[in-house]
Homo-oligomer: A and B are copies of this chain.
Amino acid sequence: MEEINPSISPQPEKKPAHPHSPAEKERIQNRLRRVEGQIRGLQQMVEDDRYCVDILVQITAVQSALKKVGYSLLEHHAKTCVVHDVKNGKEDESIEELLKVIQQYAK
């Protein structure tokens, strides 16, 4: 899977200070599975030559579902990794990284 957005390069070796609990993980995975289903639904709508506006509206629904997943991850990150880094003297790097992510989201 090609990871895009070079402005914040991936850090595959870096682990979260506090990984999600199994329950949190399951909630996120359920949302992502639903989004995956919605994407397949979009493919079907395109295949069936559905009216463009219906497809467009469905895309905005998927975007808002994805935004919620992103927001819950951002919340988890801010409340765990960022707090952990600030308390351990690594605030500069951690806050800089958080601001870059916020800029991506507020685009």
Contact flag A77-B49 (CB < 8 Å), given A40-B36, A86-B86, A106-B105: no
Partner of A36, one of B36, B58, B82, B83: B36
Please state if B16 and A67 are interface contacts (CB–CB under 8 Å).
no
Report B-chain residues with C-beta under 8 Å of the C-beta of A11. Answer: 51, 53-54
Per the bound structure, the CA–CA distance linking A105 and B67 in Å amounts to: 13
By the criterion CB–CB under 8 Å, are B54 and A3 in contact? yes
B74 and A56: CB pair below 8 A? yes
Q: Which residues of A contact B (CB under 8 A)?
A: 1, 3-5, 8, 10-12, 14-16, 19-20, 25, 28-29, 32-33, 35-44, 46-47, 49-64, 66-67, 69-71, 73-79, 81-83, 86-87, 91-92, 95, 97-99, 101-107
